[in-house]
Structure 1
Amino acid sequence: MASTIVSSIGQGTGLNITEMVDALVSADTAAKKAQITRQTNNNTAMISGVGSLRSALTTFQDAMKKLNDSSAPSFNAYAATSANESVVKVTSGNSAVPGSYNIVVKQLATGSKVASQQFAGGSSSAITSGELTVSQGGKSYKIDVANGATLESVRDQINKELGVQGISANIVNGDGGSRLVLSSTTTGAGSDLSLSGIPELEIDGTQQMAGSGAGYITAKAQDAELTIDGLTVKSAKNTIENAVSGMKMELTGVSTQTNGVGNPTSVTVAQDNEGLKKSVQAFVDAYNALQTTITALTSTSKDENDNLVLGPLTNDPTTRSLVGDIRKVLSEVGSGDQLTTLSQLGINTTKEGTLEFNSTKFTAAMNDKKLGSEVQELFTGTNGLFERMNKAIDPYNATDGSLATRKANLDKVAKNLEDQQAALERRTESLTESLTKKYVAMDTMVAKLNAQANQIKSVFDAINAQAKGS
């Protein structure tokens, strides 16, 4: 570096060489340095802006996905409640009808659980090789048992090959020996397990085991049985759909009895305006959060010196296009019957671009116009608002969308600017060193000339002195 070549003040000229060199280097590089700094700041702001926009879009899409969760529908017009969820849990859909029902659960649906004969040798007992057939409900599954098999290896083979069918096996070690125990997640009468093909593993799942023999353990598989307002209903599963129109029941226990009569559990289906209102408000809030972020990224402001300050995405054509596509979805007419626009629910766009929700108009749409059953279709139905909104956003926010491409291009610009900055720093260092050497050489030459001049002056001074003395 130049600072190691010479001190700041030249010995020959008396000039501050360091300051002169810095001034010349700055004059040569200042414009390029300012350009790189300005472009870097703008590019960094745009990268940050694109990142913030993508994050806001993802949050908005996640909110719509949550509201469209099929396991917990958010736009059901009706809500079903159970007075005793330890007996029956209930949910309802838009096809439900308001009303009350008395439910008595006599028995739950159960699956088959069977055991083999006892093996005195425990889990290591040898099993004859051959083809073991596991049958259930008219279906059969074949398992090839190899030579040298044991009760334990057969258990593992069943679990590996039939686990996907909901059939599992284990070994229970009891008095007198070990048994291979099989159970199934399939419920309902007629789903009893049976094993055949290998003599010592044969099990008739419809016969109760006795002594050391094989059979079902406690009871055969059975259907659920219940009454709804006194009418008998049977089901192979404990989850029953549409026994009451639009209502799903999950049987969780058997009803208690009084004097041998089952105690009924009251189930009620009623209009759920508050639930719908909460879901609609959640959408409005999610959209407004997105719009607030977009406004912050695209708006202009004034600094303390009254200079105009642009947002990182102000006048950005991609963002303008995105906003236009999203707002177009809000104004489109849906495919519903009576309910086709958001304004019918009291949702309107403000001049700031956000949504406002008029709860009074919403309540009137629910109570007076009876539009509750159509809200789900408007938002989550085929070609509903959510589907159209995602179609509008995906070209921008997908992993290969325009915003991802934009980010990649901005990253390339950032790398190019870093390379330019590195090149400028190398030029600054080289120019500083070159100019310093030149001025040091000049200063050295001036110092030599000054020394020669002083020597000549000394000679003349000596001659003059001698002349005066003579």
Structure 2
Amino acid sequence: MATIGNTYDPATTAAGLATNYTSARQSILTAQTKQAGSAAAALTSLRSAISGYQSSLLSLTSGKTMLSQSATFSNPAIGSASAGVNATAGSYSFFVEQLATANQVSYAGLADSPADGGNLGIEFGGVPGFTVNLATANSDGNATLTPREMAAAINAEPTNNGRVSASIVTVNGVTQLMLTSKTTGAAGNISLNTAAVGNAGLKAALSAPPTQVTTGQDALVWLGAQGTGTPIAQASNVFTNVDGVTMTFTKAQAPGDTPVTLTVASDNAGTVAKVQKFVDDYNKLKTVIDAMVAPGDPSKGATPGVFANDGGVRVLQGRMVSMLRGANGADSLAAYGIVATRDGSLSLNATRLTSQLAVSPKGLDTLIGSSVNGSSSGIAGSLDSYLKEWSSSTDGQLKQRLEQNTKLQTSLTKRQDQLDKQYDSAYKRYLTQFTQLQTLQSRMASNTSMFEALFGDKS
């Protein structure tokens, strides 16, 4: 008689049957969940790309012109200059008589002194600045106030606000308190008010005239020749007297020197760089969109983009291209060397741009325009206005699509939970059935063995 044996594992069999029971629905749900996740990531990426491009457009067109200006000195050793969008071409003469400097003073003869408390006043240009509590300056709490503790208290005083830096310098065994003003100009000259200092010895040392390591003084620059031009005095070495130009003087001239010439002129290289950024930023956004709507190519192993079958995103792709190709004539993008290729991306011919700027410098600004709210114009204005239909935080397409996709993902999560419960229920049911069958099979096998023992051939 044949022996009945166990040929299966109940748990493995139950898991396989439960998987078969839910596999069709699980495959569909897995695909939908993957697509929803990819859509969420793509929409977030698209929102970031559009927002970045709009910010770039605003930065490029927020000035009154796309044209760049340069500002240079005839003698670079005297200083440097930069021109903003409001600068007007021209030539100016300056003579730098003296530079602004920051005051630095030292107080010698300082030693450890009894911590008698009191207040030390710090003044700038004879005007009270802030007060240091010498009682709290004694940080270690012993009976002695050291110069280093006093310097630390000056630096840590909240009302100092970084206006003066205190340090200790030891020269030939003599301790000196060094105070340095953080601002240039005569108004930053430091003095001490010791009237409320408690310790007599410390008060005497701080009341003595300090050593002027560096005298604080205002800058003095002449518009024109020294002595005959117009004097300009100020506390800083950075001057903005020429509209749209920032000048930083770094060296004073000697009496009789020839004034330095500031030249403000068109900066073609700077303009080319701005236009190149306009081109590059557009191409960057277009690349993101192109990848999302790509049809794919199975023969090359290229998978379709997440929005390959999304008509709305394809419209976005087409509208951006058509906006750039719409302008024709003498002041078209192509006339300024900005050419759209067959796939809609842009390229820049710097030589053609420079040549057209010489013929029609204002045409570039009119063509590209501005994306600034309230003064939107040109290509930049049109692009920004259309992109706001997608990026608006109130009713933009991206907001609506993300909300719909989030609802879909929530629904898919609930469906997955339900399917998981169905799987668990099926698994438990199959496990119970096949465990019982296994038990019955074992009993039958045992009975078979017993019958064979009793009635089998014993020869």
Superposed pair shares fold, TM > 0.5: yes
1:34 is matched with 27
Amino acid at match of 1:185: K
Q: CA RMSD in A?
A: 5.4
Task: Give yes or no for the alignment of 1:185 onto 2:144.
Answer: no
- Answer yes or no: is the 8 Å Cα contact 2:100–2:235 preserved in 1: yes
2:161 is matched with 164
Distance 1:376 1:252 in 2: 40
1:313 is matched with 307
Distance 1:105 1:153, change over 3 A: same
2:248 is matched with 250
Deviation of 1:189 (Å): 3.2
Task: Give yes or no for the alignment of 1:7 onto 2:4.
Answer: no
1:51-88 deviations in whole A, cap 9, x for unaligned?
Answer: 54345346546756886899xx9955211234554420
Distance 1:27 1:377, change over 3 A: closer
1:44 is matched with 37
> Which moves more between the two structures, 230-239 or 439-448?
439-448
Amino acid at match of 2:218: D
1:98 is matched with 89
Deviation of 1:369 (Å): 2.4
Task: Give yes or no for the alignment of 1:195 onto 2:192.
Answer: yes
Alignment counterpart, residue 46 of structure 2, candidates 39, 53, 60: 53
Task: Give yes or no for the alignment of 1:236 onto 2:226.
Answer: no
Amino acid at match of 1:430: K
Amino acid at match of 2:282: Y
- Answer yes or no: is the 8 Å Cα contact 2:97–2:252 preserved in 1: yes
Distance 1:346 1:233 in 2: 44
Query: What's the secondary structure of 1:300's corresponding residue?
Result: coil
- Within 5 Å, which residues of 2 pair with 1:75-114? 75=66, 77-82=68-73, 84-101=75-92, 103-114=94-105
What runs of 5+ residues in structure 1 fail to find an aligned partner?
10-16, 202-209, 334-339, 459-470
Alignment counterpart, residue 109 of structure 2, candidates 106, 109, 119: 119
1:90-117 deviations in whole A, cap 9, x for unaligned?
Answer: 101233233445554332101222334x
- Answer yes or no: is the 8 Å Cα contact 1:131–1:197 preserved in 2: yes
What runs of 5+ residues in structure 2 fail to find an aligned partner?
138-144, 199-204
- Answer yes or no: is the 8 Å Cα contact 2:22–2:423 preserved in 1: no
Task: Give yes or no for the alignment of 1:274 onto 2:269.
Answer: yes
Deviation of 1:39 (Å): 1.8
- Answer yes or no: is the 8 Å Cα contact 1:76–1:92 preserved in 2: no
1:293 is matched with 288
2:151 is matched with 155
Query: What's the secondary structure of 2:6's corresponding residue?
Result: coil
Deviation of 1:136 (Å): 2.2
- Answer yes or no: is the 8 Å Cα contact 1:145–1:154 preserved in 2: no
Distance 1:148 1:446, change over 3 A: closer
2:434 is matched with 436
- Within 5 Å, which residues of 2 pair with 1:340-379? 352=343, 354-355=345-346, 357=348, 362-363=353-354, 366-371=357-362, 374=365, 378-379=369-370
Distance 1:22 1:162 in 2: 73
Query: What's the secondary structure of 1:311's corresponding residue?
Result: coil
Distance 1:32 1:374, change over 3 A: closer
Task: Give yes or no for the alignment of 1:134 onto 2:151.
Answer: no
Distance 2:177 2:402 in 1: 57
Amino acid at match of 2:220: E
Amino acid at match of 2:133: V
Distance 1:218 1:374, change over 3 A: farther
Query: What's the secondary structure of 1:371's corresponding residue?
Result: helix
Distance 1:24 1:200 in 2: 92
- Answer yes or no: is the 8 Å Cα contact 1:77–1:272 preserved in 2: yes
2:202 is matched with none
1:159-212 deviations in whole A, cap 9, x for unaligned?
Answer: 2234425222223334574343322122223432222243769xxxxxxxx999
Distance 1:449 1:425, change over 3 A: same
Distance 2:178 2:217 in 1: 19
Distance 1:164 1:302 in 2: 64
- Answer yes or no: is the 8 Å Cα contact 1:91–1:249 preserved in 2: yes
1:434-466 deviations in whole A, cap 9, x for unaligned?
Answer: 453466578779989999999xxx9xxxxxxxx
Distance 1:424 1:403, change over 3 A: same
Amino acid at match of 1:168: S
Distance 1:396 1:423, change over 3 A: farther
Task: Give yes or no for the alignment of 1:283 onto 2:278.
Answer: yes
Amino acid at match of 2:240: E
Query: What's the secondary structure of 1:46's corresponding residue?
Result: helix
1:465 is matched with none
Deviation of 1:141 (Å): 2.6
Structure 1 or 2, whichever has the larger Rg, is 1
Deviation of 1:35 (Å): 1.9
Distance 2:196 2:206 in 1: 17
Distance 1:407 1:153 in 2: 63
